[in-house]
Structure 1
Amino acid sequence: MSMNNLAGLVQENREKLKLLLYFAVIIALAYPLATSIGKAWESSHLARSIVRLHYVVGVSRPALNMTILGLFIGLLTLMTLDPKKRIQAALLWLGMIISLVGLLSLGLFLVQINFIAELPWFIGGLILGLVIGGGRKLLQVQTADALEFRRASLGIFFILALIVVVAFVEYHVQYPKIFSVTQSGVQTATTTPSGVGLETSGIFKNALISGLFIVVLGQFVTYDAEHDFFILGPRASGKSLFLIGAYLEALEQTSDSSANTPLNPSNDLVDMMQELDRPESEWIIEATGRGEVNVLSFQFVHGRVFPTNIGLQSIDYAGEYLNRLPDAIADTLPDDSVDSTLERLVDGVETADTLVLLLDLERFMNDEPLEITEYFDILRQADNTGVILVATKADVMAEEFREKRGLEAHRYQDEFRQYINQRLRGSQQVEGLIQETAGTEIYPVYYQTKVNENGDRVPIRDETNSVTTVGYDELLDLLGRRA
């Protein structure tokens, strides 16, 4: 198997491999982490004293333990009902069972408990967990919001992370008693600086185990990717239609998903979609006029095993601004020549984690200038910013691909992408741009089109008046992996 095939196989099954990795981490860490927490409890002072405050309010230790267990199970139950967190919740159920076995082996937590007598405390904790975690959503009629129990996930993260961090500190930091709690009340203790020290035995191993667990747990409760994409393109390069195509693909993917997450499109995007839906329309979306700004945004869910909300937001602007953008970023333009649109573009580039740069294939096929010279200056000034190269209007090359390779572009997308890259790299300017972006691959996207009686290329519409997009599925997957 070649390296390319192996890389493709890994890429195709990355979520399954991620699931396998998380499963291995939970299995490997649950028991040793539970036993180290138990040992930390046995040698603790401050944490033990705080927990013993239940004596002050007249609650027994078994009642407290059952309440805590009920609270955790309530939160975990809601996490299990969350379509985006079911897999993570299943792993946490497994980890919880293993951890309880580890604590029982040390004679801690659920020992010497009359479960029937303490059942009301467990039910009370369970109800509390359901309320805190947002269980009220289960009683509501369907709304525009996705069925997500974020507070439940965050509650689980807070509880487990707090336990792990406190246990690590109690196990390895030696300090004098501050106060103690008994059934007779709270008693303060005198502290001396000489009583502070550090237990270094096993500290690196425990730090590794604790840190790895918290990192994995943090991935479990993540809903939104913190990654900003910003789209740049020359005039009439298809920026509006590019964003509409991405939205249409996300809409189709959402309809096939059980997550049912609303896409929350912006008003400007909805207006454009309304124009595109007109039965008599061909390319009804006109190029954006100078001074006109449209905010186009929506969110989509990336991943099936570990779904994550990916937000896409871009400013649709007149392409003529592109040639002024490098100087505006460098702050070398006179103040009176920088309008609000240019300021928003500068802010978009500077805050973006990844720039999506459009290449107009129609210009390339017509031997017209690509007008991408400004990309080089922008990339030199946008340090540590990722880049994705996208070839728009790739339908103009799909016919050439069919004639030369005998393949349909929409059915052989990998081969078509390779063909596009080979053809575009024949341009010294594009080759230079690829080298500037460390060999970034170009991703073609397009609408399936036909030539009408006037000789104009227009979108093909099916019996439901819908247009068909190609390549956007791979692009959204790429955006999701970059997020």
Structure 2
Amino acid sequence: MGHITQTIYHINPAGIHVLITFFTGFYVGSLLLMFVDRKKRIQAILLSISIIILIIYISKGIIFSNIHWSRNIEWPVSGIFAGFVLGGGLGILRGETEFKWAARNTSVVLAGLIIFVFFNYHLSPYIENNINTTISDVVVVSVFIYFFKEFAMYTFKGPKLFMFGPANSGKSLFMAGCYLEASAPVNPSDDLLELIDELHTIGIDWPKHTTDVKDYHFTYEYGSLFIKNILFKMTDYPGPYLEKINEYMDKKEDKNEKNEEIFVKLAKDVKKSDKLIFIIDGEKYPDFDQMGIIEYIKILKKLPERRIIDSCVVITKCDLFVDEYKDKEKNEDPENDYNSFKKFISNKFVHDIRIQQLLRVVGDISIYPVFYYTKQVDKNKRKPIRDYAGNVFTFGFSELIDDMLK
């Protein structure tokens, strides 16, 4: 047994040369795709150091002897091509930018190398092995391979956001505004795509009110080097559902009652979220009792005490206060000074006792104003301002997203 590796090498040294050069090229080809993948670029940079060290060690004969890169150059080149293709490189032609198989391939190749070196060492006739040393090395190698795979495959995940509000508070339009202003939104739900399409259809002032449950979510890629996936999620629902969420926060599911499934799911989503966004309907000002604030407070009090969840308060339809703000600020447009308008809205709403109670529960947080630019049609109706292509204009969403992700 002690001569197994040497016997293999002496039987066919050319075969060992082919294997080493091919799989090194395979590793390099997979690594190139990881550089293309924005979410794996930091791993690719660190793994490049390992491949450079590996090639140096092989060239000097420290790990494998008699390996010459210049001979039979077709094998490392073939390895690079195979690593590129099997890593999903042909997807570049289809515009793909994520290559999970490339990361998986690098971990497999390095795991194979480590296992090969492990057996080469422990089967050597010059090494005295005992059972304790062997078991210890097996554990170390297994742990290293596991964590290396996790490192190569890891995608940085950001917080899960959950947004909710009472009926007709503008929560679906708020979600649409976040999607429109996010710099790199991906994987939108079908319901959200339909909402965006309806919002940009000329001849329709506003999307119709929700009469059944809608699932609005998308993923926002945030960052440049360390890319994080931020999940924006909101379930739009008819009016009474907000009270039901509160009820099911601490209620056990009755498996015989199918109508309870949506309420149980909503309550679970709230508990699993890292950040809660409470939507306040600016149009209802100053009728604070119609804004759902008391239900928000009840829901917050039922969250697990050890669960740390950030929160923020969003005031929708703040275009209704723009003229008042301009009068106060000598015709200053909110677009020119977001922070000033934000402070103006905060001062306007924070004097209500219910808003103060909410802020005491969630802590010292900011109140964010958002709105769509609108124009008055008649006394009780406004419709969005559009450009020639039917696109709408928003305010405050990009600043809100930036602050939430800091």
TM bucket, shorter chain: 0.7 to 0.9
Q: Is the 8 A contact 1:247 1:298 kept in 2?
A: yes
Partner of 2:318: 394
Letter in 1 for 2:196: M
Letter in 2 for 1:154: R
TM-aligned CA deviation for residue 112 of structure 1: 5.2
**Cα separation, 1, equivalents of 2:295 and 2:320:** 24
The residue that corresponds to 1:155 in the other structure is: 105
Deviation of 1:163 (Å): 7.4
* Residue aligned with 1:301, SS: strand
CA distance in 1 between counterparts of 2:7 and 2:200 reads: 66
Aligned to 2:210: 288
Report the equivalent of 1:470: 395
Q: Distance in 2 between matches of 1:247 and 1:317?
A: 19
Distance change (3 Å), C-alpha of 1:192 and 1:343? same
State the 1:121 CA deviation: 2.7
Give the Cα separation in 2 of the matches to 1:55 and 1:68: 20
Distance 1:178 1:116, change over 3 A: closer
Instruction: Tell me the TM-score normalised to structure 2 length.
Output: 0.79
Query: Structure 2: how far apart are the matches of 1:460 and 1:126?
Result: 54
Instruction: Tell me the residue number matched to 2:198.
Output: 275
Which residue type is aligned with residue 75 of structure 1? S
Give identity over the alignment, percent. 26
- Could you tell me how far apart the structure 1 residues matched to 2:100 and 2:380 are? 53
Query: What is the CA distance between 1:366 and its match in structure 2?
Result: 5.2
Cα offsets for 1:76-114 (capped at 9, x unmatched): 11122335545664564456446755x479862487543
Measure the CA separation in 2 of the matches of 1:93 and 1:395.
Answer: 52
* Separation in 2, partners of 1:195, 1:94: 29
- What stretches of structure 1 of length at least 5 have no aligned partner? 1-44, 171-175, 200-205, 255-260
Asked if the contact 2:25/2:83 (under 8 Å) is kept, the reply is yes
2:221 alignment partner, SS class: strand
Contact 1:62 1:118 in 2 (8 A): no
User: Do 1:225 and 1:309's aligned partners in 2 also have CA atoms closer than 8 Å?
Assistant: yes
Tell me if the contact between 2:86 and 2:102 (Cα under 8 Å) persists in the aligned partners.
yes
Could you give the per-residue CA deviations for residues 36-74 of structure 1, whole angstroms, max 9, x where no partner exists?
xxxxxxxxx99x988996667755554443233212211
1:372 equivalenced with 2:293 (yes/no): yes
Report if the CA contact (8 A) 2:59-2:68 is conserved: no
Give the 3 Å change call, closer, same or farther, for CA 195–238 of structure 1 in structure 2: closer
* Alpha-carbon distance between aligned partners in 1 of 2:66 and 2:308, rounded to the nearest angstrom: 58
Instruction: Tell me, yes or no, if structure 1 residue 356 matches structure 2 residue 277.
Output: yes
Aligned to 1:119, which of 45, 56, 73? Answer: 73
Residue from 90, 98, 106 that aligns with 1:136: 90
Deviation of the 1:197 alpha carbon: 9.2
- Alpha-carbon contact 1:353-1:385 (below 8 Å) kept: yes
CA distance in 2, matches of 1:278, 1:194: 72
Equivalent residues in 2 for 1:54-453 (5 A)?
A: 59=14, 61-86=16-41, 89-90=44-45, 92-93=47-48, 96-97=51-52, 103=57, 108-109=62-63, 113-138=67-92, 140=93, 142=94, 146-157=96-107, 180=123, 193=131, 218=151, 221-223=153-155, 225=157, 227-250=159-182, 253-254=183-184, 263-282=186-205, 284-289=206-211, 292-331=212-251, 339-365=260-286, 369-383=290-304, 384-389=307-312, 390-406=314-330, 407-453=332-378
Deviation at residue 233 of structure 1 after TM alignment? 0.7
Mapped to 1, the partners of 2:43 and 2:133 lie a distance apart of 42
Q: Contact 1:365/1:396 (CA < 8 Å) preserved in 2?
A: no
Whether contact under 8 Å (1:225, 1:308) holds in the other structure is yes
Give the 3-state SS of the residue equivalent to 1:108 in structure 2: coil
Q: Which runs of 5+ in 2 are unaligned?
A: none
Change (3 A) 1:468 1:191: same
Q: Give the drift of 1:420.
A: 3.0
Distance 1:414 1:191, change over 3 A: same
Cα distance in 2 between the residues matched to 1:347 and 1:307: 27
Q: Do 1:222 and 1:308's aligned partners in 2 also have CA atoms closer than 8 Å?
A: no
* TM-superposed deviation, 1:317: 0.6
Helix, strand or coil at the partner of 1:350: helix
Pair 412,115 (structure 1): closer, same or farther in 2 beyond 3 Å: same
Is 2:217–2:233's contact at 8 Å kept on the other side of the alignment? yes
CA RMSD of the aligned region, Å?
Answer: 4.2
Shift of 1:316: 0.8
Question: Residue type matched to 1:150 in 2?
Answer: K
SS in 2 for 1:114: coil
* Deviation sequence 1:187-239 (CA, Å, 0-9, x none): 9x99755667979xxxxxx9xxx99x969x83x75446364322211122111
Report the CA distance between 1:133 and its aligned residue: 1.1
Separation (CA, whole Å) in 2 of partners of 1:419 and 1:53: 79
Distance 1:474 1:356 in 2: 15
Match of 1:457 among 337, 357, 382: 382
Give the distance between the partners of 1:475 and 1:100, measured in 2 at CA: 48
State the distance in 2 between where 1:105 and 1:115 align: 8
Aligned residues: 395
Distance in 1 of aligned mates of 2:133 and 2:224: 53
Query: Secondary structure of the residue that 1:312 maps to in structure 2?
Result: strand
Give the counterpart letter for 2:99 in structure 1: F
Whether contact under 8 Å (2:178, 2:397) holds in the other structure is yes
